[in-house]
Amino acid sequence: LEKVTRIVDGVTLLDNFNLHIYQGEIMGLVCINAHGEKELVDLLCKNLPLHYGRIY
């Protein structure tokens, strides 16, 4: 994910978010708070439409 912004119902859940996952890499997700956590997981699993940014 590169420079991803996701807005739902006027609330910005992900703002200019970057995440690089490489083939064969195992990673965990540790969040400071739950703001945008579910949205990030849904974005990765369901390929939801983005407002800005790209997924490659």
**Mean pLDDT of the 50-54 span:** 88
Which residue blocks in 1-56 are alpha helix, DSSP H?
37-46
- Domains held by the chain: number: 1
Show the domain range for 8.
2-54
**Cα–Cα distance for residue pair 55/3, rounded to 1 Å:** 9
Q: What is the pLDDT of residues 1-45, one digit of tens each?
A: 899 998 889 988 889 999 998 999 998 888 888 777 888 888 889
In this structure, the chain runs to a length of: 56
pTM for the full model?
0.72
Beta-sheet strands, E only, within the chain: 2-8, 11-17, 52-54
